[in-house]
Amino acid sequence: MSRLTVTPDTTPGQAELRTEDPEAIAQALSQIGVRFERWDMPAAVDPDAPSDDILAAFQPHLDRLMNGSAGSADVIRLRPGNQTYPAMRQKFIDEHVHTEDEVRFFVQGAGHFILHANGRVYDARCTQGDLISVPSGLKHWFDAGAEPNATVLRVFTDTSGWTPHYTGDGISALFPAS
């Protein structure tokens, strides 16, 4: 289930808000410029199907999201036992920003986008059916856990915008995914 926990960035463990209501999640995240939506899942989407099949199943949503602008989408799968995942996880678990919006849709599984803005830490646990769009320049980190199991659509205009630019702040160690 999707969940948002908001905590002052000076007091880990002292949540000001904890909700599983999608409308409340969307409203709270919109205050920091983050888009959060729940999408209807197409019938019988196999998260292990070929990427082209998954993209075709979500094409109407992707067309609406990209509004005819230049952009593309791909599918990434995070699975338990993936030998490259520990290095990938380390790359995104420290606070960073991107030069492009980070747009993700969870086809299956879950992961935490943890956002740092206005003196608060927003831990958005995204699950199947969730779309999140983190604006460029917003400090954040991502964690799918030590044993991830997720299939995610990534939407972008330029993959070079995905390069993380680290802030050097050690805050992510104080606020692990909840």
CA atoms of 168 and 118, how far apart (whole Å): 18
Pairwise CA distance, residues 58 & 41, whole Å: 8
- Whichever domain contains 25, its CATH number is 2.60.120.10
pLDDT in tens, 116-139: 999 999 999 999 999 999 999 999
Number of domains forming the structure of the chain: 1
Domain boundaries, position 73 = 3-174
Q: For the full predicted model, state whether its pTM sits above 0.85.
A: yes
pLDDT tens, 3-60? 999 999 999 999 999 999 999 999 999 999 999 999 888 777 899 999 999 999 988 8
Give the tens place of pLDDT for each residue, 69-89: 657 889 999 998 889 988 888
Burial code (b: 16+ CB inside 10 Å, e: under 16) for 45-84 equals bebebeeeebbebbeebbeebbeeeeeebebebbeeeeee
pLDDT of residue 70: 55
